[in-house]
Amino acid sequence: MFGDMMEKLQAMQQSMGESKARLANITVEGKAEGVTVVIDGNRKVRDIRIEDAMLNDKEDLQDLLVVAVNKAIEAADKANEAEMAAKARDLLGK
């Protein structure tokens, strides 16, 4: 019984590692008026693009960066949740 539980735990750990690897290859964007933030499904920032016109107003740029990052994180959270739900269904055999 204990051995079976350990096997299931190891399988789950391996499955979660595979999910993290897949999520690293999924990228999403958050945009706000000339600012684009790209993050992966593991919520790691991969790129920030700023249009030249945005460089003139530091306060606006800072505000837009916050908005874009938050939008990108929300999109990554959705991708992450979908991946984890799929893994849970696989593990439960449904």
pTM to 2 decimals?
Answer: 0.76
Please report the pLDDT score of residue 30 as a whole number.
Answer: 96
pLDDT given for residue 32 in this prediction: 95
- Which amino acid appears at position 84 of this protein? M
Handedness of CA 12, 17, 20, 21 (dihedral sign): negative
Number of domains in the chain: 1
54/61 Cα distance (integer angstroms): 6
Domain around 25: 2-92
Q: Residue 44 and residue 80: Cα distance in Å, rounded?
A: 12
Residues in the chain: 94
| Per-residue pLDDT tens digits for 73-84 | 999 999 888 888
Asked if 55 contacts 90 with a C-beta cutoff of 8 angstroms, the reply is: no
Q: What is the CATH number of the domain that holds 57?
A: 3.30.1310.10
Mean pLDDT of 36-58: 93
Where do we find the tokens 């837009």?
A: 64
Tens of pLDDT, residue by residue over 3-33, are 777 787 787 788 788 888 888 999 999 999 9
